[in-house]
Structure 1
Amino acid sequence: MAENRPVVFIHGLWLHATSWEPWIEKFRAAGYDPVAPGWPNEAETVEGARANPDAVADIGIDEAAAHFAEVANRLGDETILIGHSFGGLIAEKLLGEGVGAGAVAIDPAQIKGVLPLPLSQLRSGFPALGNPANLHKAVSLTKPQFRYGFGNAVSEEESDALYERWTIPSPARPLFQAAAANFQMHSPAAVDTQRHPRGPLLLISGTADHTVPDVVTRSTLKQYRDAMTVNELEQFEGRGHSLTIDGGWGEVADAVLAWLTAQGL
């Protein structure tokens, strides 16, 4: 039983924290006590975030990780971390630092040590990485860019609706940090994959994901191959990067709940 165990949902780039609202309701109904805080300086609403993009400019992985660590530590050692995209990377990073009782990383951004760099991933990151001047800026996606990076596995109509409902400007800095991770000794995208003891980790991938292709998530799992902890991967066939917010989100959420139950969380 969940018994009001805290859950911290961590969103990634280009989605607002309120995109977790359906998950919040489902997890609360299952007995958990979930929260979905925004990134540092993120406005409370989608409209507010769009109106003031400079508020989040230059936020990097370390600043975001420290922010969510503070939230999780305040809630207690039994807290579960669930992140999507860069939120998944942050969940992995915090679990490796001893924060939280377990973590789920959904389509997680690549951590240091992950080598595959598919063309679809490069294209998805191009709106930010294509201009070095974006390093200290917040960047927005166009509707076609969102369609390619997030909504490629759903209809154009659904992709456009998700874009209108949830997208916000996001800092480009985390993308630059992840892209350079394997060339830096002390990268913010580094994760302690061998920490022991620590809680269990579930990685989730969509096999049609353009932004974090399945091969990247499978390579991430290999970084944990020598870890003396539970590290598992669940793949969702034909699902894209929008799998946490599109019409099939409930299937993913149910799989996460089932895994947490199996782990005694």
Structure 2
Amino acid sequence: MKNIVFIHGFMNNGQIWSEWKTFFEQRNFNCYNYSWPYMDGDVKELTQSPSPKLAGTNFNDVVTHYVKLIQRLDEPPILIGHSLGGVVVQKLLSMGYGAAAVCINSGPPKGIFKFNWDFIVSNAQLMNPFKKNALVLMDANWYHKYVTNDLTYQETQKFIDEHCLPASKQVAKTIGSIDFKAPHKPLLFIAGQDDHSQPVVINKANFDAYTNTASVKKFKVFPKRTHNILSQSAWEEVATYVINWIDNI
């Protein structure tokens, strides 16, 4: 059976992939939904009492963490990442640690930028330089506008309670670059048409940056999908598309 490593994004942990893990396991994949360093465990407990070591965690720490976990597997996995986890996937793939990769509503690596007002404002609020806190967990107003715009405000509050926890600003501040000219294993980018956090234009710029013509890549936009694409109603349609792509590469 093929190995799958799911990599979550900023202010989530591995449990955000729980339903996807079950869905893929029922289709004969070995699945692993590891959390970033110091973010594994009960969401509510970690929100109330984050690890003292979390604040110092940076992007390279997250990548190194996954390298060590992947090296334990019997064969290179297919990497599937969401949001900032998509950037981690891109970095791991560029380092030779994946058999293929899927980036869902991915954030941009260093050097990728397109003007988009939602992207600029949402990330400016997220990384507010006037707030000196090392950890960040955004409020329901921010989530409802930029992430869970498919939900009601009350549903957004429930989503935060169940799935969201503080993350280290240093991870977002220290995102690395990618060698976009190098050959790479098959790579799929998925974007949500209604994503206000990492809009389609950002995902497309990320996809277009890969220029090795001998390497396989594909770009897919799902209508009406928000940044909450992993949990949004009918998420199984997206997961099935990913499985079909894997089966045909």
**TM-score band (shorter)?**
over 0.9
Q: Of residues 104, 107, 113 in structure 2, which corresponds to 1:106?
A: 104
1:180-207 CA deviation, whole Å, 9 max, x = no partner?
A: xxxxxxxx420122332x3201011001
| Partners of 1:193 and 1:227 within 8 A in 2 | no
CA-based RMSD: 1.7
Distance in 2, Cα, partners of 1:115 & 1:163: 28
| Partners of 1:11 and 1:38 within 8 A in 2 | yes
1:59-82 CA deviation, whole Å, 9 max, x = no partner?
A: 211110111111112214331111
Q: Which residue of 1 aligns with 2:150?
A: 153
| Partners of 2:150 and 2:232 within 8 A in 1 | no
Distance in 2, Cα, partners of 1:70 & 1:195: 23
**TM-score, length-scaled by structure 1:** 0.88
Distance in 2, Cα, partners of 1:222 & 1:76: 32
Q: Which residue of 2 aligns with 1:243?
A: 229
**TM-score, length-scaled by structure 2:** 0.93
Q: Which amino acid aligns with 2:89?
A: A
Deviation at 1:86, TM superposition (A): 0.7
Q: Of residues 208, 211, 215 in structure 2, which corresponds to 1:225?
A: 211
Q: Which SS does the other structure have where 1:154 is aligned?
A: coil
Q: Is 1:137 paired with 2:134?
A: yes
Q: Of residues 156, 171, 192 in structure 2, which corresponds to 1:206?
A: 192
Per the alignment, do residues 77 and 191 of structure 1 end up closer, same or farther by CA in structure 2, a change over 3 Å counting? farther
Q: Which SS does the other structure have where 1:90 is aligned?
A: helix
Q: Is 1:195 paired with 2:187?
A: no
Deviation at 1:133, TM superposition (A): 4.9
Deviation at 1:155, TM superposition (A): 3.2
Q: Which residue of 1 aligns with 2:9?
A: 12
Which runs of 5 or more residues in structure 2 are unaligned? none
Q: Of residues 122, 125, 129 in structure 2, which corresponds to 1:124?
A: 122
- Write the mapping of 1:175-194 to structure 2, written as runs, cut at 5 A: 175-177=172-174, 188-194=175-181
**% identity of equivalent residues:** 25
Deviation at 1:56, TM superposition (A): 1.8
Distance in 2, Cα, partners of 1:168 & 1:260: 31
Q: Which SS does the other structure have where 2:71 is aligned?
A: helix
Q: Which residue of 2 aligns with 1:30?
A: 27
Distance in 1, Cα, partners of 2:79 & 2:30: 12
Q: Which SS does the other structure have where 1:174 is aligned?
A: helix
Q: Which SS does the other structure have where 1:74 is aligned?
A: coil
Deviation at 1:222, TM superposition (A): 0.9
| Partners of 1:207 and 1:236 within 8 A in 2 | yes
Aligned length: 248
| Partners of 2:194 and 2:223 within 8 A in 1 | yes
Q: Which amino acid aligns with 1:93?
A: K
- Write the mapping of 1:24-103 to structure 2, written as runs, cut at 5 A: 24-53=21-50, 54-103=52-101
Distance in 1, Cα, partners of 2:99 & 2:124: 35
| Partners of 2:147 and 2:226 within 8 A in 1 | yes
Q: Which amino acid aligns with 1:190?
A: S
More divergent stretch after superposition (40-49 vs 16-25): 40-49
Q: Which residue of 1 aligns with 2:245?
A: 259
Distance in 2, Cα, partners of 1:226 & 1:78: 21
Distance in 1, Cα, partners of 2:143 & 2:244: 30
Q: Which SS does the other structure have where 1:83 is aligned?
A: strand
Q: Is 1:163 paired with 2:163?
A: no
